[in-house]
Chains A and B, each alone.
Chain A
């Protein structure tokens, strides 16, 4: 049971603040939509927290967010973020919050200038004694550059209206230490999405999370399961949202949450500058990853893409490269094919090798200047800077529809194919003359809905190994995964 306030437990989303495109004004209608979306699955709301970009909001704006929150919350408590760098400003915000009817104030450790422990204590003391409103302390060293010292929390816990601490550090050694010294007088909330279950197991009373506006029902269930001691099920649920939680925590914060909400049909607009909607802290590649994770959670629909793995005679599969079975015979080009993996991780590689002076040399150069639509070729590498030999192009067999698909080709496919080629070099199955005088093109078919980079890497490596074995002779280790280096030597 909560110690000082009976309602202070459960799931609280740290709401983003919606802004209108271009003008960057607060978008009140969008805020109401967001609250209505989350309300069925939460125990209360948190306005103008870190996820709500509070440092970019004016005092009147913060007050307005509290008012809207109360209008929309159907009686559920609204916790107002009232953090500021100066005590003066934090006090004013907390008074505003009380007047507006907030149930509690969330006050972050004072930031930018670095007050001593005494200054930090005085900051919270002045607010707690100056305003008759429950106060939740807030530790978030990732953005504040310092911890709220445990000894300060230990003393603040004696103040009657200091009711809780939100710990967003993700550092469970800190959480446990605060529980040890103040857990008898205040409640703890976990504010780091990646460690919800371990923190609950350690003794926190609830969660205040960015992700609690994207999948609040998951956190409600984790809390219920943990409370009933069903740890296995709780772990499975936490793991389901682990990657997305990590992205929210470490790869873009509120910006990433806004991107996710937009994909779910809740457009909360851009962040305020200097943050960028994408291309800044949230890079395009990560945004594609958010899409993929929301698909897995069933939060956005999955498009079923009909496609087939290339079939028919191998020599007839290179027509897109203007290489016909006749040319293959005339120029003595060598072909091979390999397939590996199951389901979404099934990969087919059709490989062709031959002299730079042949039609294949022309095809190689042409694909780098005159690519097939949506099928831009990549150079075969182990990693950037380690171009394999013979020079090899990777050509997606299917047009790439989006960055999410391209992400599967760039990293896992490119490096696994590179590795299979260097395996062959190491095993000396590629003739020395071919290393300098030939080129290769690999037509790679990856399932458009492939997701698992690790499994894909293994599939490509095995399929490429089999294709190379057909092209150059030597043994195939298809399906055996990565070779033991010592065994090869």
Chain B
């Protein structure tokens, strides 16, 4: 007894559902996204978890499926998310999807109310009757129920139309139990971006992934290298994207993918509320995702020319530009940028950056402070081009604090400056004209030196870009005003 279908294998993106500014399904952006991923995928999944199915009305789900079917035009299979919380709705939508012409249905475990295992089994049994190829979907992080292997085994072996299972738990012992029970009879897909290579190497037949919206080509490399037995290559690419996909899998999945796509020039909008920017997908995560998308071999954000207007003089540079990068940047008198990186709490970094002309207020403050109390109050010039003053925001008392601040945090700040010179944000032609003042916070109870260095690197790198690009924008501030939650605003 072999697989029930031939088509269910390889890399399938769990497509995001783009929304316009007025919160409607954005058909144009959806079609553009599908055209972007299509050359690199073996199938697509509309209306999955990443597609925010639980925030779509029944009419919208049908609309999304229709657009998807039309744009794909039969070139790859369309595995439609048609799971709902009740059996009645799930059956109705799956029936509709069958008639609309989808290739198969991905059915999430019934969620919110917690049916017992026999109730879950009967739910899928009812959907199986529709007659559409059926993929079971285990995602305990959202659904709140974890399939037991015997439930999955029973459904996969007993249901005529069950062609496979998608397991997004990331629980490899569970997946190994599935291999033991049903490998070769139904397809076993991994749905957790952090363990794709491990799962494929262990025998998974494919992957349905949120991150495959963004890096479908990289996942193809992992998939094909594994098929060819080239584990070293597969491991290499998994590791290259590990940080990116860890953020996506853990910090705001759908919003993370959407902001990544926006930075790449695919304007898919935001997630529907209550998911929002700066929520589970934290602002510092966005900065990190941006850096990851710039990496060689990933190449998802491209360089673009930008002009710096230094008053009397114009400097042209090339930077990794996103939709928020102005093409002309002026106002070098005084620019403010902030960066924040953590956890862990004790090692979190917070940088308040001033960037400005040497003969302006920033340059004058730097020289006057140095001459005034300079090293006596802990000020230290740590970089010459651009001239950079490190200012501690907490009094440095102990030898340990001294080391963490002047060695580790300073090393992180310096690295950020060096890489910003390399990547074009601080072009050679302005290095003698501007100075930086970095107010740096190191918690008195910090211990882990490497984290202090890395968090300060991240915070400083963000601060430089945010100062230059004028972020956050007024639009972002107004959008997030009501929901902003300052961590120190509350009593313990």
- Interface on A for B, CB 8 Å cutoff? 243, 246-247, 251, 276, 278-280, 283-286, 289, 356-357, 361-362, 364-366, 368-370, 376, 379, 381-389, 391, 407, 410-412, 414-415, 418-419, 422-423, 425-426, 435-437, 439, 453, 457, 485
Q: B283 contacts which chain A residues (CB < 8 A)?
A: 385-386
Instruction: Indicate which residue in A370, A418, A425 contacts B369 across the interface (CB closer than 8 Å).
Output: A370
Given A284-B444, A362-B365, A385-B282, A423:B491 Cβ within 8 A: no
User: Does A436 contact B477, Cβ atoms closer than 8 Å?
Assistant: no
Contact across chains for A439 and B368 when beta carbons are under 8 A apart: no
Out of A247, A369, A389, A439, which one reaches B477, CB within 8 Å? A389
Residues B315-369 near A (CB distance < 8 A):
331, 333-334, 336-338, 340, 345-346, 350, 352, 354, 356, 360-362, 364-366, 368-369
Q: A286-B492, A422-B481 are in contact. Are A381 and B338 (CB under 8 A)?
A: yes
B484 touches A365 (CB 8 A): no
Are A365 and B364 in contact, with the CB atoms below 8 A? yes
Does B487 count as interface, using CB distance less than 8 angstroms? yes
Bound-state Cα–Cα, A415 to B477, Å: 12
**Chain B residues with CB under 8 A of A437:** 331
Residues in chain B near residue A251, CB distance under 8 A: 492
Q: In chain A, what residue has the closest Cβ to B446?
A: A279
Asked if B107 is at the interface (CB within 8 A of a chain A CB), the reply is: no
Q: Contact at A426–B340, with CB atoms within 8 Å?
A: no
B residues 441-492 in Cβ contact with A at 8 Å: 444-445, 466, 470, 472, 474, 476-478, 480-482, 484-492
| B354–A425 touching, CB < 8 Å | no
Q: Which residues of A contact B334 (CB under 8 A)?
A: 356, 361, 364-365, 391, 439
The 3 closest A-B pairs by CB, nearest first: A279-B445, A411-B488, A365-B365
By beta carbon, the residue of chain B nearest A419 is B481
CB atoms of A368 and B365 under 8 A apart: yes
The reply to whether A285 and B488 form a contact with Cβ atoms under 8 Å apart is yes
Contacts of B470 in A (CB 8 A): 436
Which residues of B are found within 8 Å of A383, using beta-carbon distances?
A: 484-487
Interface hits, B209-255 → A, CB 8 Å: none
Q: Given contact pairs A389-B472, A411-B487, A425-B477, enumerate 18 new A-B contacts (beta carbons under 8 Å).
A: A243-B492, A356-B333, A357-B360, A357-B361, A362-B365, A365-B364, A365-B437, A366-B369, A368-B391, A369-B369, A383-B486, A385-B282, A386-B484, A387-B472, A407-B488, A411-B490, A415-B484, A453-B489
Minimal Cβ-Cβ distance residue in B for A452? B491
Q: How many A-B residue pairs have CB under 8 A?
A: 153
Q: Which of B331, B338, B389, B491 is the most central at the interface, judged by chain A CB atoms within 10 Å of its CB? A: B491
- Are B282's CB and A453's CB within 8 A? no
* Cα-based distance from A387 to B485 in the complex (angstroms): 13
Interface residues of B (CB under 8 A from A): 278, 282-284, 331, 333-334, 336-338, 340, 345-346, 350, 352, 354, 356, 360-362, 364-366, 368-369, 372-373, 379, 389, 391, 393, 437, 439, 444-445, 466, 470, 472, 474, 476-478, 480-482, 484-492
Q: How far is the CB of B480 from chain A (nearest CB, A)?
A: 6
Could you pull out 19 A-B pairs where Cβ atoms are within 8 angstroms? A243-B492, A279-B445, A356-B334, A361-B333, A361-B334, A365-B361, A368-B365, A369-B368, A379-B352, A382-B486, A383-B485, A385-B282, A385-B284, A385-B340, A386-B477, A415-B489, A422-B481, A453-B491, A457-B489
Name the residue of chain A whose CB is nearest to the CB of B391: A369
Find chain A residues with CB under 8 A from B444 CB: 279, 284
Q: Given that A381-B338, A439-B334 are known contacts, is A362 also in contact with B361, CB under 8 Å in the complex?
A: yes
Q: What are the residues of chain B within 8 A of A418 when measuring CB–CB?
A: 484, 486
Contact B437 A412 (CB under 8 A): no
